């Protein structure tokens, strides 16, 4: 698969992620986008105003021409008004983007936790606690990272389009020089998407593994101390932490390379524009004010180009987090066997031919929902409980004894209906 095809596939997955998150809280997202669009319009207006001030105030002043007070005041007020609009729109966009991020993260986390509560016991039994926590914490945070930046990127895209139209109208020759940056950035981002996706996905998996090992150590702290396994647990944790460190380091290396290239492309384009613009001024095709306005606007455009590049660079990590979250939310729910009101007083327990087996023991591999825990069917797995039958009269006690791993705990979970029966009949209180 080529870099362009891989980048396009990642962008489509990223677009689905953004649309899904926008649906959670559309109103603050729309306000953030409005603020970003207003900022883009103010940037274009500021460049135009700057060019007019240069032509009508600065150049005549250096030429020792007479300047009216009204012209100087009008220029100052124009620049001040544009500055106020830029400030207000920036505040609106940042506040609403923060709201989008916080609320979307909370909504996804609530969905994951709610789905956890509805999933069968087997789902939780087959996944480490740390992995489950990572889905409801690190993965949701990663998933909303890019959508929270979309208002900024969207407004900057609008700024780029508006500025592009203004640039072509002002001087097509300089515009042709400046537009060369677009294909360079497209190719650069496509290559980056292909290079950064594998380590980003791996890093999210490593976070879940590290959380799982940490929580296992906490839960089994007394056992570890009794058996003298502190050094073993420490070495185990260091090994998993080193894997996460290696994945994060690889991401940092590739990010650093991308950042250098992303910074250099706009800078080189500005140099080319200065050279071409000076030639155009000398030939009398444009004024000094137009060149200043053009260079100022393009310099301002390098910021949104870098921001858009950074947002695109975060897409693989956000997609990886969101797909791990979707793995949980897409896990099928199975109806409970129903409930009945039991008679009051001591109750009997009758079991006939109880059977239960684990299908795909250890199948939960920590990446959320791909182990297939729904639709339990232990026919192909080892039978932990097979053909067990007993009767416990009301008010009596029955002792269940056997070696470790013989199914004592599994039998109690079956009686509590925390595990589904593969066969047999269980009656409590005769029902």
- Determine the pLDDT at residue 104: 92
CA distance 157 to 65: 41
- Determine the pLDDT at residue 4: 53
- Determine the pLDDT at residue 359: 62
CA distance 93 to 248: 30
What are the residues whose beta carbons fall under 8 Å from the beta carbon of 207, sequence distance 6 or more? 134, 138, 244
Q: Is the pLDDT of residue 373 over 60?
A: no
Residue 407 pairs in a beta bridge with none
DSSP 8-state class, residue 7 = H
CA distance 5 to 376: 39
Q: Is the pLDDT of residue 420 over 50?
A: yes
CA distance 123 to 175: 58
pLDDT > 90: what percent of the chain? Answer: 10
Residue that wins the pLDDT comparison between 373 and 2: 2
Q: Is the pLDDT of residue 296 over 90?
A: no
* pLDDT tens-digit map of 385-401: 888 888 888 888 888 88
- Determine the pLDDT at residue 96: 92
Q: Is the pLDDT of residue 165 over 70?
A: yes
* pLDDT tens-digit map of 308-366: 767 877 788 888 889 889 989 998 876 666 667 777 778 888 888 888 876 644 333 33
Tokens of 186: 């497209």
Mean pLDDT of all residues in 5-12: 69
- Determine the pLDDT at residue 102: 93
CA distance 22 to 15: 11
Instruction: Find out whether 255 and 197 touch, Cβ atoms under 8 Å.
Output: no
Instruction: Find out whether 313 and 258 touch, Cβ atoms under 8 Å.
Output: yes
* Mean per-residue pLDDT of the chain: 79
CA distance 301 to 266: 9
Q: Is the pLDDT of residue 378 over 80?
A: no
Element (H, E) at 352: strand 349-357
Sign of CA dihedral 221, 222, 223, 227: positive
Mean pLDDT of all residues in 142-156: 85
- Determine the pLDDT at residue 10: 77
CA distance 384 to 356: 6
CA distance 336 to 321: 30
- Determine the pLDDT at residue 368: 39
CA distance 341 to 11: 53
Instruction: Find out whether 268 and 124 touch, Cβ atoms under 8 Å.
Output: no
Of the ranges 31-40, 121-130, 187-196, 280-289, which is most confident? 31-40
- Determine the pLDDT at residue 367: 40
Going edge to edge, which strands form the sheet with 423-428?
383-392, 349-357, 423-428
Map out the domains of the chain with their CATH numbers: 3-329 (1.20.1560.10), 349-428 (no CATH)
Mean pLDDT of all residues in 391-414: 84
Bin 387: left if φ > 0, else alpha if -120 < ψ < 50, else beta.
left
Phi, psi of 425 (to 5 degrees): -130, 140
Q: What angle do CA 22, 27, 32 make, to 5 degrees?
A: 85
């Amino acid at each position: 698969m080529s870099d362009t095809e891989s980048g396009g596939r990642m962008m489509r997955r990223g677009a689905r992620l953004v649309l899904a998150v926008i649906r959670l809280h559309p109103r603050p997202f729309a306000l953030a986008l409005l603020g970003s669009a207003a900022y883009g319009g103010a940037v274009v207006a500021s460049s135009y105003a700057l060019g007019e001030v240069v032509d009508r105030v600065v150049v005549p002043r250096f030429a020792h021409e007479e300047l009216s007070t009204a012209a100087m005041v009008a220029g100052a007020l124009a620049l001040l008004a544009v500055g106020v609009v830029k400030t207000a729109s920036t505040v609106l966009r940042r506040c609403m983007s923060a709201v989008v991020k916080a609320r979307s993260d909370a909504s996804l986390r609530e969905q994951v936790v709610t789905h956890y509560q509805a999933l069968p016991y087997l789902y939780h039994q087959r996944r480490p606690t740390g992995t489950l926590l990572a889905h409801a914490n690190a993965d949701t945070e990663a998933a909303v990272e890019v959508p929270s930046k979309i208002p900024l990127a969207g407004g900057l895209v609008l700024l780029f389009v508006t500025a592009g139209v203004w640039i072509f109208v002002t001087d097509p020759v300089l515009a042709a020089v400046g537009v060369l940056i677009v294909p360079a950035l497209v190719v650069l981002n496509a290559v980056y998407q292909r290079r950064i996706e594998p380590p980003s996905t791996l890093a999210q998996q490593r976070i879940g593994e590290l959380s799982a090992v940490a929580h296992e150590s906490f839960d089994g702290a007394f056992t570890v101390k009794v058996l003298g396994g502190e050094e073993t647990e420490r070495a185990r944790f260091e090994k998993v932490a080193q894997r996460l460190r290696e994945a994060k380091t690889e991401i940092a290396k590739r990010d650093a390379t991308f950042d250098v290239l992303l910074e250099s492309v706009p800078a080189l384009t500005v140099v080319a524009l200065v050279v071409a613009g000076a030639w155009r001024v000398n030939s009398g095709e444009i004024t000094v004010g137009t060149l200043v306005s053009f260079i100022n606007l393009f310099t301002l455009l390098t910021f949104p180009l870098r921001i858009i590049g950074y947002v695109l660079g975060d897409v693989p990590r956000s997609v990886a987090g969101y797909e791990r979250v979707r793995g949980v939310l897409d896990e099928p729910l199975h109806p409970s066997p129903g409930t009945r009101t039991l008679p009051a007083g001591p109750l009997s327990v009758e079991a006939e031919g109880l059977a239960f087996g684990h299908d795909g023991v250890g199948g939960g591999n920590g990446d959320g929902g791909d182990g297939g825990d729904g639709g339990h069917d232990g026919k192909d797995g080892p039978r932990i409980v097979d053909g067990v039958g007993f009767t416990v009269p009301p008010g009596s006690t029955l002792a269940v004894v056997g070696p470790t791993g013989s199914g004592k705990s599994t039998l109690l979970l079956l009686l509590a209906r925390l595990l589904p029966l593969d066969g047999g009949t269980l009656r409590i209180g005769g029902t």
